[in-house]
Amino acid sequence: MERLNARTESSPLWLGLIVLMVIATLVPLWTPWPALALLPGLLLGSLVLIGRGPSWGLYAIIFLIPFGHFRQFGGPLPDIKIHWVLAAVLLLVLLLRLVRDQRTVRQLSSNLWPWWWLFLAVSLFSTLWSAFPGQAIQQVLLTLVAMAFFALVLVFLDGRALMRQLPLVIVSSVSLGSVFALIGYLFDVPWFAVEVSSEFTRSTGVTSDPNNLAMLIIFALPFVVFWLVHGQRPLVRLAALLLLAINLGALVVSFSRSGALVTALLLATLLVVNARGLRPRHLGLVFAGGAMALLVALMLVPQGYWERQATLTASDTDRSINRRASYLVVAGDAFEQRPLIGHGPGTFRELYAKTDWAQRFDREGATNRRFAHNTYLEVVVGTGVLGAICFLGLLAVAARNLWLARRLLLARGDRHHADQVLHYLLAFLFLLLYMTMFSDVFQKHMLLSLGVSQLWLRFALEAEAAPVAETVG
């Protein structure tokens, strides 16, 4: 009888929700944006799915990282991004868990939080003395958003996700972007490529910048190589080989010189790291395959790609390299003025726009508010020595977490997952290397790696003496 009464009382609520859903679905059909009729159903489905399995919401955010050019809702909501909505829902779920479950509080524990809070404090203090308070405050808010994303990773991912789902999400999203990059270049699709001149086109994929595309590919390559070397089934290794070719092809058509340099170092490192587990006959196959791949590359890679790479040494004539050199000069002058706390987080662009260098390298249709093309310069100029120490401390502790997790796994005889942690570490370190040539203080794969470093360390510390029987493929 009580159940019957409860159902009767809840019926008006359900009826009201159904009516609202119908109205929200029908109204957009009479507007210039009929596609928004799908939005209510998608939102409801997302809420139900995230409520039942919050990790899927986080996977969706991670999957969308390469889709920087296509994350907006559009129509009457041009400034609202899909991953913002997903993150807001996940934060609501997190808050509810904190209220009712003490285990969530323990999941949030991390040796990275002190560095986060110190960096936030220095950023706030620097903002108080900044000549560009609006830009600095915006960067402080982004710091809070980055800390929230870090918290979501700590709570909604676990050991199994690190071993299987997370690498799959990262590689599939980046590789899909690489497919679009190849389509953009081969078929001249403007959505996925940018025309630099009448004779020169660079692919962007689903990102907004060719160099950003290169950075994403660099982060994903260690996971692809791990599958190629450690995949237990031939189909897994064949798929990994295909993904490797797709991503390297996309890297080529991005025409990123910094991407080519870092990728060459990464592939050499991956070869050395994985060579010790190969038998002599396998080494022969690797070198033969490498020689064939090089031959194919020489035949298929556009001549313009090699010509662009050759300009790395032409600093006297290459305008782009000279412009990047000017960033170093401006950063040095700015650091001398305020070495301790900087000019306010995220203010390098404002400082550069006021210099003679900005006028000298002025480009028609482009803003003079230029990034430093170096994440660490952005931090030093913005928050000084104190902020740089906190930021580098955050990165160093994360790298140490991964290294320590690998040592613990090796000590208990779990070679497979120790190798997997090593590839996570290489993805993180080479991403950090690339960030010496790209400005993105809160790059999402970097933030993801910070949380993942804590999860791997937690997994290694909590593991029993027996190795875990979780393998790839």
125-161 tens-digit pLDDT:
999 999 999 999 999 999 999 999 999 999 999 888 9
Which residue, 110, 78, 119, is CA-closest to 385?
119
Q: Are strands 77-81 and 200-203 parallel, antiparallel or unpaired?
A: unpaired
Per-residue pLDDT tens over the stretch 353-404: 888 887 787 766 567 788 899 999 999 999 999 999 999 999 999 999 999 9
Q: Span 270-290, mean pLDDT? A: 67
Candidate from 60-69, 75-84, 181-190, 204-213 with smallest mean pLDDT:
75-84
**SS3 assignment, position 80:** strand
pLDDT at 194: 86
Q: Span 98-110, mean pLDDT? A: 89
pLDDT at 314: 58
104 pLDDT more than 70: yes
162 compared with 32, residue with greater pLDDT: 162
pTM assigned to the model: 0.88
Q: Cα 361 vs. chain centroid, distance in angstroms?
A: 30
Alpha-carbon separation of residue 354 from 127, 166, 340, 367, 438 (angstroms) = 19, 43, 22, 12, 21
Q: Span 107-121, mean pLDDT? A: 97
How far is 40 from 17, CA to CA, in rounded Å?
Answer: 11
Residue 92 half-sphere exposure toward CB, CA atoms < 13 A: 10
443 compared with 311, residue with greater pLDDT: 443
pLDDT category, 15, cuts 50, 70, 90?
low
pLDDT at 200: 73
Kindly provide the residue ranges of all beta strands, DSSP E only, lying in 65-137, ordered along the sequence.
72-74, 77-81
pLDDT at 410: 94
Supply the mean pLDDT for the chain: 84
How far is 258 from 212, CA to CA, in rounded Å?
Answer: 11
How far is 467 from 109, CA to CA, in rounded Å?
Answer: 25
Task: Give the CA-trace dihedral at 64, 70, 76, 81, to 10 degrees.
Answer: 30
pLDDT at 6: 44
Alpha-carbon separation of residue 110 from 118, 157, 178, 229 (angstroms) = 14, 14, 34, 32
Q: Span 410-426, mean pLDDT? A: 95
pLDDT at 100: 84
